[in-house]
Structure 1
Amino acid sequence: MDQLSAPAVTALRQAQNTIIEHSLDRISAAHPWYRTLSAASRDQIEKVARVGVTMFVDSVDESGGAVDPSGIFNVAPVALTGAVTLEQTLELVRTVVDVVEEEAPDVVPAAGHDAVRVRVLTFGRDVGFAVAKVYARVAEARGAWDARLESVAVDAMLHDSPDDAAARAGTAGWRGTGPAVAIVARTVLDALATSRLRHECRQHVQDCLVSVHGDSVIVVLGGAAKPAESSATASPHAELASAADRIAADLDGAVVIGPVVDGVAQAGHSLRSALAGLRALPGWSEAPNPCRADDLLPERLLAGDPLASEQIQALVTGPLREMGVLYEETVVTYLALGRSLEMTARTLFVHANTVRYRLGRVSKQIGWDATDARDGLVLHLAVIVGRLTAGPTQ
């Protein structure tokens, strides 16, 4: 690269304050968003511009040694990267470079015009790379900090009170007030894959927390489903459950989805259910993947999960009893007699069609079909849990 003469360098130093002022004027005129920034942010940007022009002049002085363009941003606090985007910062750099490219050659002897232009463009390129590195470091640090906040929020859901869990989630960026659901997958994700998963979740729902725990990944979803996921007839709970299904289907390894709960304060219930389901999953070799925690109630009960007892009473035992003694008695007798319609009818002194009708009503109202082997197991256990909870009869 051609060297500039001593007179050319001296001329640039004498003109640098004028170039700086013209650069700041151009910034204010060319970028309306700049005028909307706080006075403190504008002051920091002005400092960066002044240092940048000064450093350029230093870079053309061969006696001054090497100049590192990333040092331009040492005068700006990290918080400025939150007020000004990377794209906006590059626009500012381009504006300053344009002014320097227009005015710097005019202040040096004619023989140095081309050399100055080449140095301006080279320095501007180096500054652009420096900007990208600064924002990359900030993004990496911010991502690591956000990940820690999300992990703390997930831990609070498991161990702290509902109010504390909601507060921790808010600190981690949770904004919505709608339902929530947890997904647990036995898979290993690196930082990049975790970031992609978080991005994918936010394409479907308003809020998400992603936390990596050893060989497992925990995802908590909540808030309103995105417009593309919404249905005019579906409830918010159903929309969130549908979004959870789509996200869970893309995860590797064994995946269990917890029940949808009313809000982030209750997310711990969904998360504990999903974790218990993942632990109990080996007990059902035919389980689908992803699998819902509520579909693993028998295995969870046998594994000693207290939430499974509560859930089966809420989902099965209570609704079955509300239907009346006849329906519960029909289900119990049918299961005890090996699922035989004829034997159940003879035992209850009713027609087989009556047994068929009652079992159909139970299936339609509660959601578990006694004529199905798996559903029959759930119903049988629900009756047993209900009787144990009620205690000995007098």
Structure 2
Amino acid sequence: MPQSAPGPGSARSGPGATNAGTTPPDPATVEKLRATIGSLSTATLRQLDADLPWYRGLRPDERSALGMVAQKGIASFVNWYQKPVSPAWVLSDVFGTAPTELTRSISLQKALQLIRVVVQVVEDHVPFLAPEPDQGPLREAVLRYSREVAFAAADVYARAAETRGSWDTRLEALVVDAILRGESSDALRSRIAAVGWTSQAPITVMVGSAPEDPNASLLHELRRITGRLAEDVLVGIQGERLILVLGGVRDPAKAYPRISELFGPGAVVFGPEAASLVSASSSAQAAFAGLTAARAWPDAPRPVSSEDLWPERVVSGDATARSELVHTIYRPLLAASNGLEQTLSSYLELGHSLEATSRSLFVHANTVRYRLRRVCDVTGWDPLLPREAYVLHTALVVGRLAQESRPPDAGHPGAGATPGRTPRATPGAKTRPTTAGRPRSL
């Protein structure tokens, strides 16, 4: 007897429905279907090879796995046609033999193309599989079954994507944690390659408070926005802090303020540039030290460079900031001679007065102006701006304290850069911003 279409009273009410109320299929048709499984499978493989160019380019093991999926799909259709039941079995019965790696090499779109070919082959053979009265119900059964298989395929790929996304997130968190701890090992390099990092540009680490209730959509939004502003990005959330490792930031003057909007309330600090992810620990440590000390500068810009927070970091006990002030400001001033250190000291101690400084040093006021410009050229910090004068004053204090235990190195490079560190300013070229208090890196 032909299988009738389900009426309103027999419609499936959920995924576990069994099509109760329909007429059982003709046993002769079922037996003929079972007898032709092999020939249908062979015809399907030939059709796949003829219709799908990408199928011909697969490796032999991938072609074999897809052929097994097609064969299992046809065999399972026969069982389903004989007794329609819940589609939950499709996941294990059809796709259970396919390796997990198949979802990586075959996209969902290609999987659906394969299902379409299989369905088309079975439909083309309907006239040979059933007498004319049974052909209509058989075609309907093929279409309904193809729908279940398509949904099952989508479910397989969705689960694979979720698993892959969870693993990628955990791996990304491990890389960020390793960078913060200063690891430099083959394992870290392997993890960096695994997360897909490709940027060869300098690295910057930006830290601040995490937004309230961080979730998967927040991480997606972070990656979407930062992806337009930088070549690569790693995102890490540790407790209440958000860490962004940015590679190849395009136009930092515009990118940093935009990225800072993604953080929660409070200060946002970015560290100095590092050459690579493996050496980005120094940038991360400077950024976290700046974040700790930022509360001492309530009017700090957002974001603010960790180098702009050198004075606050020194007060909070940061030895790295103290060393940076000595090597990048104090020692270059001593090496430059021409009375720069003495002129700067007098200018700061006499209330930033050019006239008082000129009288104290017995020189003309224009000479004081010239020497202060030279201070800016040598150090990159302008003593005529109150905030930068505070940084210079702090450098003089920590430099003199350092002299008591270690004499200044007269042979230290005049640019004041520590080994492997880019100088803050090139002598003779003023690159500092003209507005007081703005981050120097912007």
Under a length normalisation based on structure 2, what TM-score does the superposition of the two structures give?
0.79
1:270 maps to what in 2? 283
CA positional deviation for 1:300: 1.5
Query: Does 1:220 pair with 2:233?
Result: no
Larger radius of gyration: 2
Query: Does 1:338 pair with 2:360?
Result: no
Q: Is the 8 A contact 1:105 1:112 kept in 2?
A: no
In structure 2, relative to structure 1, the CA distance for the partners of 1:44 and 1:347 (3 Å cut) is same
Instruction: Report the Cα distance in structure 2 between the residues aligned to 1:105 and 1:185, rounded to whole angstroms.
Output: 69
Partner AA of 2:44 in structure 1: S
Structure 2 counterpart SS, 1:75: coil
1:232 maps to what in 2? none
Query: Does 1:13 pair with 2:34?
Result: yes
Instruction: Report the Cα distance in structure 2 between the residues aligned to 1:11 and 1:5, rounded to whole angstroms.
Output: 10
In structure 2, relative to structure 1, the CA distance for the partners of 1:363 and 1:79 (3 Å cut) is same
Matches within 5 A, 1:75-154: 75-104=97-126, 106-154=128-176
Instruction: Report the Cα distance in structure 1 between the residues aligned to 2:282 and 2:126, rounded to whole angstroms.
Output: 66
Q: 2:320 aligns with which of 307, 314, 331?
A: 307
Instruction: Report the Cα distance in structure 2 between the residues aligned to 1:38 and 1:352, rounded to whole angstroms.
Output: 81
CA positional deviation for 1:381: 0.8
| CA deviations over 1:345-393 (Å, ceiling 9, x no partner) | 1111112222222223333453322122211111111122222222259
1:39 maps to what in 2? 60
| CA deviations over 1:325-357 (Å, ceiling 9, x no partner) | 522222221111111111111111112222222
CA positional deviation for 1:302: 1.4
Q: Is the 8 A contact 1:106 1:113 kept in 2?
A: no
Query: Does 1:324 pair with 2:308?
Result: no
Partner AA of 1:51 in structure 2: K
In structure 2, relative to structure 1, the CA distance for the partners of 1:132 and 1:374 (3 Å cut) is same
Instruction: Report the Cα distance in structure 2 between the residues aligned to 1:242 and 1:139, rounded to whole angstroms.
Output: 34
Matches within 5 A, 1:145-224: 145-163=167-185, 165-188=188-211, 189-222=214-247, 224=248
| Percent of residue pairs identical | 37
Structure 2 counterpart SS, 1:182: strand
Q: Is the 8 A contact 1:93 1:124 kept in 2?
A: yes
In structure 2, relative to structure 1, the CA distance for the partners of 1:261 and 1:12 (3 Å cut) is same
Greater Cα shift, 240-249 or 344-353: 240-249
In structure 2, relative to structure 1, the CA distance for the partners of 1:21 and 1:282 (3 Å cut) is same
Q: Is the 8 A contact 2:182 2:279 kept in 1?
A: no
Please tell me the root mean square deviation across aligned C-alpha atoms, in Å. 2.5
Greater Cα shift, 2-11 or 302-311: 2-11
Moved over 6 A (4+): none
Instruction: Report the Cα distance in structure 2 between the residues aligned to 1:102 and 1:203, rounded to whole angstroms.
Output: 49
In structure 2, relative to structure 1, the CA distance for the partners of 1:105 and 1:376 (3 Å cut) is farther
Structure 1 counterpart SS, 2:219: helix
1:377 maps to what in 2? 390
Structure 1, gaps ≥5 residues long: 230-238
In structure 2, relative to structure 1, the CA distance for the partners of 1:35 and 1:313 (3 Å cut) is farther
Structure 2 counterpart SS, 1:181: strand
Instruction: Report the Cα distance in structure 2 between the residues aligned to 1:213 and 1:132, rounded to whole angstroms.
Output: 34
2:427 maps to what in 1? none
Q: Is the 8 A contact 1:181 1:244 kept in 2?
A: no
Structure 2 counterpart SS, 1:78: coil
Instruction: Report the Cα distance in structure 1 between the residues aligned to 2:191 and 2:345, rounded to whole angstroms.
Output: 45
CA positional deviation for 1:251: 3.4
In structure 2, relative to structure 1, the CA distance for the partners of 1:93 and 1:361 (3 Å cut) is farther
In structure 2, relative to structure 1, the CA distance for the partners of 1:38 and 1:204 (3 Å cut) is farther
Query: Does 1:24 pair with 2:45?
Result: yes
Structure 1 counterpart SS, 2:390: helix
Q: Is the 8 A contact 1:249 1:290 kept in 2?
A: no
Partner AA of 1:220 in structure 2: V
Equivalent residue pairs, number: 380
Structure 2 counterpart SS, 1:369: coil
Structure 2 counterpart SS, 1:162: coil
Structure 2, gaps ≥5 residues long: 1-5, 7-21, 408-442
